Amino acid sequence: MLRRVLGRSGIEISAMGLGCWAIGGPFWRGDRGVGWSVVDDQESIRAVRRAMDLGVTLFDTADVYGCGHSEHILGRALGSRRENVLIATKFGTTFDEASKQAGDPCGDPKYIRQACTDSLSRLHTDVIDLYQFHAADFDLTRAVAVRDTLEDLVEEGKIRWYGWSTDDPARAALFAEGPHCAAVQQRLNVLEGNRAMLRLCHDQHLASLNRSCLGMGLLTGKFDAGTTFPADDVRHGWNLRDGPQAEQLARLQRIRDVLTSGGRTLAQGALAWLWALDSVTIPIPGFKTVQQVEENAGAIAHGPLAADQMRQIDEILS
């Protein structure tokens, strides 16, 4: 099985993790849905367990996903198999669990400690393997106290390693000054992303966890100009007919044949592109169903794209 190392931690994990945003179900920021519409909790649990059966050993969630619900479901799903996997979760966005409302970013040390305690409880675990700051644009000067608090939590045995979910290399570099920083979570896929962050990961020996590795579903090939999303779906405002997403669909069509080479599905090709791009990449595609998990995990057997295929995609997109 294709493997990756989680940065400075030295921990070897599956080359693909699973992102647990979608299984948190609906939640809101004001009147705007920031979840992935309705979810079947029993199917979510079956999907997590199927992923473990297929060799997936990294699960990435956040306390704000479903305002606590994603962590609850992941903790239930892992059960007695928790020791066989690496749990990554996030903090940094306040929320109200009862009303399902996400609030403001926060990096206050007292808040961080309480958020960590609450996540440990929801996940039914004694330690968080990778604890990630979930406030992408948080003020750099105030972020020093966040990093120092995370180092304290390592010393106390509540977390093992930490990182920042941000697309800004300067912010990631600040966290990298801490000895227990092991990863950065960045938006990266075949159509969009930040290569400068990959260079930083190499220089600082950090893993690059790739959110939106399937373009929030767009790179699966399952959408067309007539696709719409419900109001409680974070993609509700997408315009697949003549908006930015329509342009992405057109670009995707031009590289479809390369991505689907060797019997891959389009989604599997998008994951294979990330593995071929750099040795530090760890895509974390989202899921709602067992079928989606099986398709995504099936990409591992195909492995990365070949060098000539990567060059062909670069030429087409440029």
Fill in the amino acid letter for 85: V
List all residues 6 or more positions away from 6 whose beta carbon is below 8 Å from its beta carbon: 12, 13, 58, 86, 130, 161, 182, 183, 207, 282
Domain membership of residue 128 (yes or no) is yes
Domain membership of residue 311 (yes or no) is no
The active-site residue, picked from 65, 111, 131, 162, is 65
Domain membership of residue 228 (yes or no) is no
Domain membership of residue 120 (yes or no) is yes
Best CA proximity match to 272, nearest among 236, 219, 217: 219
First-to-last C-alpha distance (Å) of the chain: 32
Domain membership of residue 50 (yes or no) is yes
Output the CA angle 52-235-14, nearest 5 degrees.
20
Domain membership of residue 36 (yes or no) is yes
Q: For the domain that residue 141 is a member of, what is the CATH number?
A: 3.20.20.100
Tokens of 45: 């649990």
Tally of domains within the chain: 1
Asked about 65 being catalytic, the answer comes back as yes
Q: What is the pLDDT along the chain (318 residues), one digit of tens a residue?
A: 799 999 999 999 999 999 999 999 999 999 999 999 999 999 999 999 999 999 999 999 999 999 999 999 999 999 999 999 999 999 999 999 999 999 999 999 999 999 999 999 999 999 999 999 999 999 999 999 999 999 999 999 999 999 999 999 999 999 999 999 999 999 999 999 999 999 999 999 999 999 999 999 999 999 999 999 999 999 999 999 999 999 999 999 999 999 999 999 999 999 999 999 999 999 999 999 999 999 999 999 999 999 999 999 999 998
DSSP states of 64-75 = TTTTTHHHHHHH
User: How far is residue 318's CA from residue 316's CA, in Å, rounded to a whole number?
Assistant: 6
User: How far is residue 42's CA from residue 96's CA, in Å, rounded to a whole number?
Assistant: 24
Domain membership of residue 255 (yes or no) is no
Domain membership of residue 233 (yes or no) is no
Domain that holds residue 33: 3-216+265-304
